Amino acid sequence: MSLNTFGHLFRVTTWGESHGPAIGCTVDGCPPGIPLTEADIQPWLDKRKPGQNKFTTQRKEPDEVRILSGVFEGRTTGTAIQLMIENTDQRSKDYGDIAQAFRPGHADITYHQKYGHRDYRGGGRSSARETAARVAAGGVARATLAALVPGLTITGYMVQMGARGIDRSRVDLASIGNNPFWCPDPVAATDWADYLDQLRLSHNSVGAVIEVIATGVPAGLGAPLYGKLDSDLASAMMSINAVKAVEIGDGMAAAALTGVENADEIRMGPNGPEFLSNRAGGILGGISTGQPVVCRFAVKPTSSILTPRQTINQRGEEIDLITKGRHDPCVGIRAVPVGEAMMACILLDHLMLDRAQTGSQRGTIG
Amino acid sequence: MSLNTFGHLFRVTTWGESHGPAIGCTVDGCPPGIPLTEADIQPWLDKRKPGQNKFTTQRKEPDEVRILSGVFEGRTTGTAIQLMIENTDQRSKDYGDIAQAFRPGHADITYHQKYGHRDYRGGGRSSARETAARVAAGGVARATLAALVPGLTITGYMVQMGARGIDRSRVDLASIGNNPFWCPDPVAATDWADYLDQLRLSHNSVGAVIEVIATGVPAGLGAPLYGKLDSDLASAMMSINAVKAVEIGDGMAAAALTGVENADEIRMGPNGPEFLSNRAGGILGGISTGQPVVCRFAVKPTSSILTPRQTINQRGEEIDLITKGRHDPCVGIRAVPVGEAMMACILLDHLMLDRAQTGSQRGTIG
Amino acid sequence: MSLNTFGHLFRVTTWGESHGPAIGCTVDGCPPGIPLTEADIQPWLDKRKPGQNKFTTQRKEPDEVRILSGVFEGRTTGTAIQLMIENTDQRSKDYGDIAQAFRPGHADITYHQKYGHRDYRGGGRSSARETAARVAAGGVARATLAALVPGLTITGYMVQMGARGIDRSRVDLASIGNNPFWCPDPVAATDWADYLDQLRLSHNSVGAVIEVIATGVPAGLGAPLYGKLDSDLASAMMSINAVKAVEIGDGMAAAALTGVENADEIRMGPNGPEFLSNRAGGILGGISTGQPVVCRFAVKPTSSILTPRQTINQRGEEIDLITKGRHDPCVGIRAVPVGEAMMACILLDHLMLDRAQTGSQRGTIG
Amino acid sequence: MSLNTFGHLFRVTTWGESHGPAIGCTVDGCPPGIPLTEADIQPWLDKRKPGQNKFTTQRKEPDEVRILSGVFEGRTTGTAIQLMIENTDQRSKDYGDIAQAFRPGHADITYHQKYGHRDYRGGGRSSARETAARVAAGGVARATLAALVPGLTITGYMVQMGARGIDRSRVDLASIGNNPFWCPDPVAATDWADYLDQLRLSHNSVGAVIEVIATGVPAGLGAPLYGKLDSDLASAMMSINAVKAVEIGDGMAAAALTGVENADEIRMGPNGPEFLSNRAGGILGGISTGQPVVCRFAVKPTSSILTPRQTINQRGEEIDLITKGRHDPCVGIRAVPVGEAMMACILLDHLMLDRAQTGSQRGTIG
């Protein structure tokens, strides 16, 4: 079974292969009356677009999105929104070598084993190219959130490249657009540039950790017990290509804490409850607290490298394989806007779930 | 909106509060003809049962499960299986203090903000008591997997308590039942016993990391792109009370690797492909490879502690709160059988999804 | 696959067999803060209860419902509501004869073919006894609708028994409780009593048509295109045991009309649009118009009769079979409260879907 | 909320408006390895295509389908299949008149009330043009069924136009392609041609009843209790534009029968059970019996007519409205291939559900 849809009420169904004629998605359930044009979506696609510098794949795709349905006279109609992005720069010849071979670390072998028949060109459906459709859907979610929850912000950035982290004391979110890594620590960014250059030239690649933070999220979002906000974020982020771990708030580090340390103590502020810390990452019992929602995920190093690796082919022969083609030395870079898009979709989905059940009712404090 | 169901085809719907008359679940979609009695489920509940030693809550619950439907003459009928566990040892008086106060680190405040009206006794629906229903459902999943995939095993154990890890060179899975922590490293287990005793006596608690491993999983399970096996495991584990992070294979550590290091190289063994390493944790592109599926999750320290913490109450007054009641100093201990149960349910669900789409077809190698 | 859940957001999962220890359901997604006790649900179960007169099965079941979760201090908490009804008057010995035989018109043969292993006692899961759980869920939906949409009414009644219809000019909805058939035409009710007595004594049974009407339904409910209000009503009513057809508004008769006749013309009334007729049954394009929602369904005659019918048994032997046991001569009678319950659940579900997407926005007229 | 997806495992998501640039659908969950090209789908679209004779709308659409994803080298890959049909002959100027007016019998008023903002051109999303996408999806389902269940057939035809039925003794399914109505009774077809000509010239329209029959359906398909085969067919057929009723087997007429008459008696044939009649329409307890599955639905007369009808506009003014544009005098004609497509999708979906749960197990007889 393949399941190409996510979301409970704000539902996104993606389609398309890396080297097919186009990719895209259907965004279903979007509230009506939301101002929306291609220009609201395109900037996010541009942020993810390949070929922008030497640290991302040299495939050149304009990634121009077209809205084919669900929008009339510049506003959403509440019906299914179809978004399409044509593929223009496919170089399938790069992939003749791997039609029968399984690249280590790739889904080639599992798609073959599961489906028997697969589009091997550029990874076909398992290619990270699919994430362009997510980013387009995220653009719709962002535009809708902007209309429904003024002041909500979503920001993604890289906090670790390989083993090299950032210095949290130097973080300046305003600076993340100033370097090719969406890195909030300018010193780390310079270091990473040298490091990645070196790796690239030595035919290697490296992993990364991305953090996505949402502020202005109303308290009360999350659908316990099996549609918890953190549970849905975990699923969403883990579904991104190459992601191997997801953390909320302190994440893995929470295991090392004692209960005394871990308690986010609560005081009463002028506008309601205020937490003295945010180890929980803005979520308690699967429901948002009103604090910033903090989510991190680890991206493994790009599997497609020019260093030969041992593998087998479909006939069961043992071979050594170099993966040619145009690949990102650190695929985590382009995962930043994808993580933001998933955050936007999940938050909007939960906003809708919440108003379905509780309407405008809310427990009050004070 | 609350969503109390998980699974695509093997669907589990749980219900019940910590201090209500009973808790339970409906297991829907189970294949027919599977041998099943209460005796197949009870051992897993016994493993999770509170009050077994000084390291878990002193609440005494027999946790006896009753099958109310879906089984006839000792075999499943393919219809909805209802499992019920009566609550017998509720001491609601412990909770009078917190009817109006929000315990730090607990869902009290978010349930109040979301729903306005909540069962505060023992955390009500947000209590970890709910996980007994998951373990019961996991028992059904295990019995079904035993019938459908002979040789498949699922084993959970604790690999870290607080900041204290295990020594992987000493791991002996056969020993995990010999200590109260399901710890596979006997030396660490002894150390942890002292450490936890100390913490408990100092009115503190601590976090943990649990690992669940499944062997004998057929290649080809997983539903890309939004029902990937790792994505569904992430959601399932993150939905367990107090979990803050989920890792597959190398998890967060994958970020620090290079592509050369990370590649699980493939050779041809007598029975098909063999991988020289398993950094991927048995999953590529969201689909199982046939290697062991490895999943880890971090459990934060128990929030209910006898050390006073600052918080507020429903009237907005700032107070200091001690959480009485009978609490686990390391709730991660009892998360072990819960993690196993979630793994069992997710694997069975994907087995069913897979046979729906591909039947017995499979891509062959060699 | 068995799917024991219905509803998009107000989700009902039923479980239980005719001769098991109990039946029940989980009602998930109910808004919080709704006043609810067993006393709100019991009257609807009493309406459906068997053994109330000679025209329904003589099985005596008190059908007392217990709320096991999701309600605290008399109000819903927004978490899963578990409702349980114990079975007390099972006479399984009646069913020894049919353990191996397939009663014509029953699901015995299809359950056997699909599942291989079935609870044959009283039809097991395929018994109309399951509808008690639906009626209990309907009680929760009615209580919720009463709180959210004051003035909304739902009324079911029988409009045809066998070939004998009612005279629409004599309809008095206030009289439907005055006869055992929930018949709104007192003259027809008297006629039906004689007719059914005769049929019963001649070891025969008969079909019926039920109509369910909802007034005070807000305009705008319905989720085009595959969760249309009529589409969901069709599915809901067709899922009731023995139902063979569902009509909305003019139903099958609409086929015989011309476009000129069929147009429900619209005028402007003091409170908004007014329709001069309601051939559409209150639904256009799958969305409610604000007119009464009118749904009818046909119930086939009870298949369990004392007249011998030709059939086969599991060994493939041809036999003649008399179905003993305690059966309704016109099972349509007890389908009336079931149809009402399904209507209540579907309307509430769509109310929630609608507020998820559109909140309080609405297109205005005038 | 709008829900543009149907199906449990074989999932179809449609998108597009009557006068937008294109319409289409994503077909998700299709088994891999199925031979599929545009040529397998196009004939079904041609069957539904407008403008083929004077009895259908004169809008000229080539309705050429393109496969954009999910198929590689002529076979399905098991990933999402995207089908797109460009709109080429939109004459939106016809619709200027109705931008602010609500056509009686149309969804104009309900879309306005629900969504506030709508694409009024040709009915936008509520147009029957959407059914082209269903027919395309049905083509994929048919190709898949042909590969998985050899011998299964699906045939739709019109059995009533207005009040004029067919003579069942004259039915010849081989003749349904010989007349523009897909009528299996050649005598009725001639009569209908005259009748419809007359109606068309008098600016009127008329309803119809369509029957869809599937033979060669294996016993055991259907997911009780809320995914019964008949329940899902009812939902699917009721979701088609202008449908007001759905019948299975004897349908509404079953209400008029006695239990003795209604029993489909069973004998033992050379290949298993044989039923002496098929009043049940091939479904018992929501599960297929192996007999032909028989489903009928009533289509109301086309609401768009040239005869003036009373209505209101958005400002609440009472007006008389003539609906210009190019409309079918009997929209039921083009509903025939749509009904077939829905049947194909639902049967395949249930085939997949069934193999998920029961695999190849089956209860045997004899």
Q: Model confidence over B222-275: pLDDT tens digits?
A: 999 999 999 999 999 999 999 999 999 999 999 999 999 999 999 999 989 999
Are residues C77 and B32, on separate chains, in Cβ contact within 8 Å? no
Of A2, A9, A75, which is closest to D29 when you measure between CB atoms? A2
Which tens digit of pLDDT belongs to each residue from D76-126? 999 999 999 999 876 656 666 778 999 999 999 999 999 999 999 989 999
* B216 band by pLDDT with thresholds 50, 70 and 90: very high
Examine the pLDDT at B325 and tell me if it is beyond 90.
no
Task: Tell me the shortest Cα–Cα distance from D284 to chain A, in angstroms.
Answer: 28
Query: pTM for this structure?
Result: 0.97
Task: Tell me the shortest Cα–Cα distance from B144 to chain D, in angstroms.
Answer: 11
For residue A5, the cross-strand partners are A13
Examine the pLDDT at D24 and tell me if it is beyond 70.
yes
CA dihedral C42, C45, C47, C51 (to 10 degrees): -120
**How high does pLDDT run on average in chain D?**
94
Q: What is the pLDDT of residue A66?
A: 98
pLDDT in tens, chain C (366 residues): 579 999 999 999 999 999 999 999 999 999 999 999 999 999 999 988 876 777 777 667 789 999 999 999 999 999 999 999 999 876 656 666 778 999 999 999 999 999 999 999 989 999 999 999 999 999 999 999 999 999 999 999 999 999 999 999 999 999 999 999 999 999 999 999 999 999 999 999 999 999 999 999 999 999 999 999 999 999 999 999 999 999 999 999 999 999 999 999 999 999 899 999 999 999 999 999 999 999 999 999 999 999 999 999 999 999 999 988 767 899 999 999 999 999 999 999 999 999 999 876 678 888
Q: How far apart are CA B350 and CA B336, in angstroms?
A: 22
Residues of B in contact with A183 (CB under 8 A): none
Nearest CA in chain C to D162: C256
Are C55 and C330 in contact by the 8 Å Cβ rule? The answer is yes
DSSP-derived pairing of the beta strands C81-86 and C22-28: antiparallel
* Interface probe with C: pick from D26, D284, D293, D357, most Cβ of C within 10 Å: D284
Nearest CA in chain B to A364: B113
Of D352, D353, D358, which is closest to B32 when you measure between CB atoms? D358
Examine the pLDDT at D58 and tell me if it is beyond 80.
no
Are residues B332 and A255, on separate chains, in Cβ contact within 8 Å? yes
ipTM: 0.97
> For residue A32, which of D116, C251, B274, D321 has the smallest C-alpha distance?
D116
Q: With 0-12 CB in 10 A as exposed, 13-18 as middle and 19+ as buried, what is A91?
A: middle
* Interface probe with C: pick from D161, D211, D266, most Cβ of C within 10 Å: D266
* Interface probe with B: pick from A192, A266, A342, most Cβ of B within 10 Å: A266
Of A14, A69, A117, which is closest to D75 when you measure between CB atoms? A117
Q: With 0-12 CB in 10 A as exposed, 13-18 as middle and 19+ as buried, what is B110?
A: buried
Strand, helix or coil for residue D248: strand
Q: Could you write out the three-class secondary structure of chain C?
A: CCECEECCCCEEEEEECCCCCEEEEEEECCCCCCECCHHHHHHHHHHHCCCCCCCCCCCCCCCCEEEEECEECCEECCCCEEEEEECCCCCHHHHHHHCCECCCCCCHHHHHHHHCCCCCHHHHHHCHHHHHHHHHHHHHHHHHHHHHCCCCEEEEEEEEECCEECCHHHCCHHHHHHCCCCCCCHHHHHHHHHHHHHHHHCCCCECEEEEEEEECCCCCCCECECECHHHHHHHHHHCCCCEEEEEECCHHHHHHCEHHHHCCCEEEECCEEEECCCCCCCEECCEECCCCEEEEEEECCCCCCCCCEEEEECCCCEEEECCCCCCCCCCHHHHHHHHHHHHHHHHHHHHHHHHHHHCCCCCCCC
Residues of A in contact with B122 (CB under 8 A): none
The annotation status of A21 as a binding-site residue, yes or no, is: no
Residues of A in contact with B265 (CB under 8 A): 104, 309-311
Task: Tell me the shortest Cα–Cα distance from B85 to chain C, in angstroms.
Answer: 11
> For residue C242, which of C269, C210, C271 has the smallest C-alpha distance?
C210
Q: What is the pLDDT of residue C326?
A: 67
Positions at the binding site of C for NADP(+):
48, 54
Which tens digit of pLDDT belongs to each residue from A197-242? 999 999 999 999 999 999 999 999 999 999 999 999 999 999 999 9
> For residue C106, which of C311, C316, C296 has the smallest C-alpha distance?
C311
Q: Chains meeting D at 3+ CB pairs closer than 8 A?
A: A, B, C
Task: Tell me the shortest Cα–Cα distance from A333 to chain D, in angstroms.
Answer: 27
Higher pLDDT, D87 or D57: D87
The annotation status of D202 as a binding-site residue, yes or no, is: no
> For residue D252, which of C207, C168, B18 has the smallest C-alpha distance?
C207
Which tens digit of pLDDT belongs to each residue from B154-202? 999 999 999 999 999 999 999 999 999 999 999 999 999 999 999 999 9
- Residues present in chain A in total: 366
> For residue C185, which of C200, C169, C198 has the smallest C-alpha distance?
C169
Task: Tell me the shortest Cα–Cα distance from C56 to chain D, in angstroms.
Answer: 15
Examine the pLDDT at A50 and tell me if it is beyond 80.
no
Higher pLDDT, D223 or D51: D223
Nearest CA in chain C to B26: C15
Q: Chains meeting B at 3+ CB pairs closer than 8 A?
A: A, C, D
Of B352, B360, B361, which is closest to D357 when you measure between CB atoms? B352
What is the distance of C-alpha B177 from the center of its chain? 17
Are C214 and D209 in contact by the 8 Å Cβ rule? The answer is no
- Residues present in chain D in total: 366
Residues of D in contact with B358 (CB under 8 A): 31-32, 78
Examine the pLDDT at D218 and tell me if it is beyond 80.
yes
Q: What is the pLDDT of residue C222?
A: 97
Q: Taking phi first (over 0 means left), then psi (-120 to 50 degrees means alpha), and beta for anything else, what does residue C46 get? A: alpha
Are residues C4 and B82, on separate chains, in Cβ contact within 8 Å? no
Are C69 and C79 in contact by the 8 Å Cβ rule? The answer is yes
Tokens of B116: 């306005």
Examine the pLDDT at A58 and tell me if it is beyond 70.
no
Examine the pLDDT at A325 and tell me if it is beyond 80.
no
Q: What is the pLDDT of residue B244?
A: 98
Of B33, B352, B361, which is closest to D356 when you measure between CB atoms? B352
Task: Tell me the shortest Cα–Cα distance from B267 to chain A, in angstroms.
Answer: 6
* Interface probe with B: pick from D77, D352, D364, most Cβ of B within 10 Å: D352
The annotation status of D241 as a binding-site residue, yes or no, is: yes
Residues of A in contact with B310 (CB under 8 A): 265-267, 276
Which tens digit of pLDDT belongs to each residue from C221-276? 999 999 999 999 999 999 999 999 999 999 999 999 999 999 999 999 998 999 99
Residues of D in contact with B357 (CB under 8 A): 9, 29-32, 78, 352
Tokens of A225: 């017990």
Q: Which CATH superfamily is domain B5-358 in?
A: Chorismate synthase AroC (3.60.150.10)
Q: Chains meeting C at 3+ CB pairs closer than 8 A?
A: A, B, D
Residues of A in contact with D17 (CB under 8 A): 69-70, 72, 79
Residues of C in contact with A30 (CB under 8 A): 357
Nearest CA in chain B to C5: B28
Are residues B226 and A251, on separate chains, in Cβ contact within 8 Å? no
* B209 band by pLDDT with thresholds 50, 70 and 90: very high
* Interface probe with B: pick from C10, C17, C19, most Cβ of B within 10 Å: C17
Task: Tell me the shortest Cα–Cα distance from C33 to chain B, in angstroms.
Answer: 6
Are residues C32 and B77, on separate chains, in Cβ contact within 8 Å? no
Which tens digit of pLDDT belongs to each residue from A240-253? 999 999 999 999 99
As a whole number of Å, the end-to-end CA separation of chain C is 50
Q: What is the pLDDT of residue D342?
A: 98
